[in-house]
Amino acid sequence: MTKLPPSVIETLKSFLQEDIRSGDLTSEITVPADATGVGTIFSKGSAVLAGVQEVIAIAEISGLDYEVSAFEGNWVSPQEPIVLLRGKARTLLGVERVCLNIVMRMSGIATKVYKMVQAAREINPRIRVAATRKTTPGFRYFEKRAVHIGGGDTHRYALDDMVLIKNNHVAVTGGVANAVKAARENVSFSKKVSCEVRTLQEAIEAIEAGADIILLDNFIPQDVGGVHEVLKQRGLRDKVLLEVSGGVDERNIKDFAQSGVDIISSGALTHSFDSADFNMLLSMT
């Protein structure tokens, strides 16, 4: 059975409804109502597999039987079977594109995340590579789950997960120190306070005001290393987690991993990936 939450099952139902609407016109006029078959989803290239639980859920929603041949988080090879779906041919044809779209996108993200995590951890085995909220509206759960499958950190899922003071909060409240102090005074002890900073001075102000996490935004790796060293010299480095974000990709992630930060977050993980390639072949029974 699927392990997905009920709310996600409802989302998958809406995906099917969006594609099928009142019916699969082509299949209804060409495929006999009593025809049955097996739809086998294959990988057409090498990828870190994600989205199998979603395919299982769609099978259960649609009254199809299924057999899983490959497992999420593992690399799959070209022409490797992933999932077999059995049932009415019209149903198999109706769910084909939704299943493939989900697996292709989730596996593309998982593959990108895996590669970036491995690159960063060659330099620092303890570093975390995290996603951001730069996700597709309506598809965030699946993109965040793909990040987790690829070995990345999902970061905050939504705005209520943690306090993250960004530049516009700072502009409204009149400065980094004011924003952090306001957060500290009004939020539960159970919530971490993170503050985005643009300069070394802002980083120092945020730490002295009580921030738990300092997010260095749009720094180049050399400047991140410089901030790290100054914070060490002032005895401030061990008081916070140090995160960097902005412009991080496969080309420079190793440089950022050498800079002394604890966390590298990258919107590219979920907005600039290449979908993996999968297809489904149908055979009649």
What contacts 22, CB < 8 A, 6 or more positions away? none
Per the annotation, the verdict on 239 as an active-site residue is no
Q: What is the dihedral of CA 25, 28, 29, 33, to 10 degrees?
A: 180
Q: Which tokens go with 85?
A: 């779906």
What b-and-e string marks burial along 267-276, b requiring 16 or more CB atoms within 10 Å of the CB? bbbbeebebb
User: Of 175, 254, 249, which is closest to residue 211 (Cα–Cα)?
Assistant: 175
Contact 56, 119 (CB under 8 A): no
Residues 6 or more apart whose Cβ sits within 8 Å of residue 103: 41, 49, 50, 51, 52, 54, 55, 82, 276, 278
**Do residues 46 and 77 touch, judged by C-beta distance below 8 A?**
yes
Length of the chain: 285
Distance CA(168)–CA(16), nearest Å, equals 39
Q: Select which of 13, 44, 134, 239 is catalytic.
A: 134
| Residues labelled catalytic | 134
